[in-house]
């Protein structure tokens, strides 16, 4: 099924993206990523290699590979802590789909649906990371800028 992309407003990705972005290097430990997620309450980190977008790690990626007992002093075992001693490059999504800040939000939404991803790193014309847009950003904008249908 092909989708038609329309933009009823001049809203661009740069208007709703988050910046600055939490980033990590390919050889960082998963414990570093988990700490970022816990402290910053974000759901995605962008993996950089020589200042270029190389991958993305989501909180779901971490949930799949890190023991749920990590950080629980009553239940944590040495093998649980060991699950955080893997490197980012071992679990990241490589070659992520990116978008530029001047693209319409509808294009970002269609790209996320088509690629089955929940975030897009936002890059400038030189491929430098300038932000990130997530499904949550798009949904928040939609809820805040569209009247609710009448109850009934």
Model confidence pLDDT, tens digit, residues 125-149: 999 999 999 999 999 888 887 766 6
Residue 67 has pLDDT above 80, yes or no: no
Q: Which of 100, 93, 95 is nearest to 17 (CA)?
A: 100
d(CA 121, CA 41): 18
Q: Which of 152, 122, 114, 120 is nearest to 136 (CA)?
A: 120
Mean pLDDT for the chain? 86
**Where are the domains positioned within the chain?**
13-145
pLDDT for position 6:
42
Q: How is domain 13-145 classified at the architecture level of CATH? A: Roll (3.10)
d(CA 6, CA 37): 34
Q: What's the pTM value of the predicted model, to 2 decimals?
A: 0.82
Could you report the per-residue pLDDT of 18-45, keeping only the tens digit for each?
A: 999 999 999 999 999 999 998 998 999 9
């Amino acid at each position: 099924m092909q989708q038609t992309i329309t933009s009823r407003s001049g809203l661009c990705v740069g208007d709703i993206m988050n910046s600055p972005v939490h980033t990590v290097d390919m050889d960082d430990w998963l414990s570093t990523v988990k700490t970022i997620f816990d402290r910053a309450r974000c759901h995605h980190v962008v993996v950089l290699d020589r200042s270029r977008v190389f991958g993305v790690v989501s909180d779901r990626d971490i949930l799949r590979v890190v023991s749920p007992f990590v950080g629980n002093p009553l239940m944590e075992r040495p093998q649980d802590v060991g699950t955080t001693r893997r490197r980012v490059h071992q679990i990241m999504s490589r070659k992520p789909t990116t978008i530029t800040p001047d693209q319409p939000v509808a294009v970002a939404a269609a790209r996320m649906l088509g690629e089955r991803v929940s975030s897009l790193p936002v890059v400038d014309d030189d491929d430098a990371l300038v932000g990130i847009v997530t499904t949550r950003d798009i949904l928040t904008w939609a809820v805040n800028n569209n009247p609710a249908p009448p109850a009934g």
